[in-house]
Structure 1
Amino acid sequence: MSTLLTTFDTWKPRQSSNSSDDLIAELVRRKLLPQHTHLSRNIPVDFQLAPEKVLSVVETLQPDLIVCCGMAEKRSHLTVEANGKHQGDILYTSLPLKTLVEQTQSTKISHNTGRFVCNYLYYSVLKYIQVHQLKTQCLFVHVPPLNPENLEITVRDFSTILKLLQPVVSS
């Protein structure tokens, strides 16, 4: 089973990094990523470029699972997003979010991906999967700003989610 993980770049001058990319870098450093995981990091925070770049990688790799990650500056814990919205259309992930979060320490399910590029990327990937009738699964995960208090639990929860997704997606 192959997995594609994506992260965003920063979008404000005051940001030294994006917590989504920091989290994936930490997982790489600790060797906690599943086998056959591909990374597309520092996606531009741009409504047109983000989906173009990610969908280009999806077309090339044809992964079984896509996990898009973005930073949620005002959240304090990891959140898995239930849906992406665009112009009144709402597309939901088919992944068992409740089962995933029940086995984590602090991750929550969110029904509000926001109105920024994160939401549009999630919607665009879900729409692409729908239109092309792919068996590929997709999830969007919002990552809070990382700090010494939440780093370990965030790494543990995200790693747990990735492990739990492996058998779900490959079945």
Structure 2
Amino acid sequence: MNPSGRQSAGIDGRVAARTEPMFNQVLPAHPRAVRKVLHDIRRRFSGEVSEDTLGRLELVLAEVMNNVAEHSRGPACDAGTVVGLSIHVSIVRHVSGLCCAITDNGISLPPDCLIPRNPPPPVRSALPEGGWGWYIIHDLTQALCYYREGQRNYLAFNLPFGDDVLRH
């Protein structure tokens, strides 16, 4: 492994995969744990990706992980946490963006969440509480895919860099 965390040439002279470790963490499905992991992600990628990219990543991951924490059901609850419900998040930086995978052992994602949609209609008196999450997720990501295998949900997407990407 290249200690500098940069790309290294393989035996045949081609550039090998980046040697930086991916971000990988398992957390309980609880809003406090989600906030902590978002802070850890920001700290991990700060200086490697732009503030714009970090902000978009944080917004998408907050929507996804808070949806798991809020809407998944389990056998018993303890102070707002579904006992045994966990989220596993992995993020890898690549040449054109961040590749993200989130898995959880909650209930299945409703199929209509994956249908691209228009933004919810504005409400003159106040912004609506719900309805924006999946619109935001679809709008800010590429290659969004979901499947369920056994008792686990798998969600993956790419978050492209903007024009303000930091070059290393």
User: TM over 0.5: same fold?
Assistant: no
Report which of the two has the higher share of helix. 1
> Larger RCO: Structure 1 or Structure 2 (Cα < 8 Å, ≥ 6 residues apart)?
1
Provide TM-score, normalisation by structure 2.
0.28
Query: TM-score, structure 1 length as denominator?
Result: 0.27
Considering only CA atoms, is the larger Rg found in Structure 1 or Structure 2? 2
